[in-house]
């Protein structure tokens, strides 16, 4: 294992603080610092950046991010058992690591950014990962308070985020991500890379905000995608009945016999505008 700092190896950290992974908190730790550095580097040049990491756990990814010349790193961790290990890292990097104990779903990220763009990097807890992403994708103000999101998901979720029309993975998440960002899968991570190993393969996804996404409201886009993909095998004239059906489709210039998964992001935006 490579050394990127003089801190004790992560396995020793886990043992010293009795950090046995808890499933309810989505805890699958990364102990290989080569891999955590690879994830951190996927975010782009980090020199001088303010990075936010959700769910640092024992701090493997935290240490990798800190080794890359960032100005400030803010971490948000729910499990109090991880805090002593994180404070050890903070002592090693004076004035650079800010530790917030709490639920990442309730944090005001725009306030945390304080008017300067942040970069978010995280090996996300699977149970809250999708909700966090949707929250980051849908602020009213755009361009958003973040400059990039570099996030680990289960591969199946990653495929839904980057899915194109016509793909079986294409759905609400793909439309929301495609509307506001350019999203790509950077690389896959096998189960054995984690302690303990999860059942499925994971993927690191990198998202960059589009400067000028099509001007529609998030709530209208959510409504049409929810209705259309709620009955994804039905024709749109049927699945969108509650939102105006054929009249709405005609207004948006879309053939009512088409199905949700054939519509481009631009066509979903046309529906949202027509609503």
- The answer to whether 264 and 166 are in contact (CB under 8 A) is no
| Position with the least CB separation from ligand SAM | 55
What does the alpha-carbon distance between residue 63 and residue 37 come to, in Å, rounded to a whole number? 8
- The answer to whether 43 and 73 are in contact (CB under 8 A) is no
Which spans in the chain are helix H? 10-16, 33-42, 60-66, 83-92, 109-113, 126-137, 155-162, 172-180, 218-230, 236-239, 245-252, 265-274
- The answer to whether 271 and 248 are in contact (CB under 8 A) is yes
Least distance CB 200 / ligand SAM (angstroms): 13
| C-beta of 55 vs 209, nearer to ligand SAM | 55
| Footprint of ligand SAM (CB under 6 A) | 25-30, 54-57, 60-61, 76-79, 82, 103-105, 123, 125, 128
What does the alpha-carbon distance between residue 39 and residue 263 come to, in Å, rounded to a whole number? 33
Summarize the annotated binding site as residue ranges.
28, 30, 55, 77, 103, 123
| C-beta of 34 vs 257, nearer to ligand SAM | 34
Least distance CB 135 / ligand SAM (angstroms): 12
Summarize the annotated binding site for S-adenosyl-L-methionine as residue ranges.
28, 30, 55, 77, 103, 123
What 8-state DSSP symbol labels residue 71? Answer: S
Least distance CB 55 / ligand SAM (angstroms): 2
| C-beta of 161 vs 254, nearer to ligand SAM | 161
| C-beta of 125 vs 209, nearer to ligand SAM | 125
Least distance CB 37 / ligand SAM (angstroms): 12
């Amino acid at each position: 294992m490579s050394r990127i700092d003089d801190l004790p190896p992560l396995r020793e950290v886990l043992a010293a603080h009795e950090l046995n992974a808890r499933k309810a908190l989505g805890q699958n730790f990364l102990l290989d610092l080569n891999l955590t550095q690879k994830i951190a580097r996927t975010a782009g040049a980090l020199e001088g950046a303010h990075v936010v990491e959700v769910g640092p756990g024992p701090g493997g990814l935290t240490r990798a991010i800190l080794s890359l010349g960032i100005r400030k790193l803010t971490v948000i961790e729910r499990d109090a058992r991880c805090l002593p290990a994180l404070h050890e890292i903070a002592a090693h990097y004076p004035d650079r690591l800010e530790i917030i104990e709490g639920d990442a779903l309730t944090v005001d990220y725009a306030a945390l950014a304080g008017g300067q763009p942040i970069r978010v990097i995280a090996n996300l807890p699977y149970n809250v990962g999708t909700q966090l992403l949707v929250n980051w994708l849908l602020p009213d103000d755009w361009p958003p308070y973040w400059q990039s999101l570099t996030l680990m998901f289960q591969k199946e979720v990653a495929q839904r985020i980057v899915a194109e029309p016509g793909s079986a993975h294409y759905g609400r998440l793909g439309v929301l991500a495609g509307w506001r960002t350019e999203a790509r899968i950077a690389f896959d991570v096998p189960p054995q890379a984690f302690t303990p190993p999860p059942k499925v393969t994971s993927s690191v996804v990198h998202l960059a905000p589009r400067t000028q996404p099509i001007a529609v409201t998030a709530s209208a886009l959510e409504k049409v995608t929810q209705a259309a993909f709620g009955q994804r095998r039905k024709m749109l004239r049927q699945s969108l009945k509650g939102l105006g059906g054929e009249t709405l489709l005609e207004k948006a210039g879309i053939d009512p016999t088409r199905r949700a998964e054939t519509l481009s992001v631009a066509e979903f935006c046309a529906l949202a505008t027509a609503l």
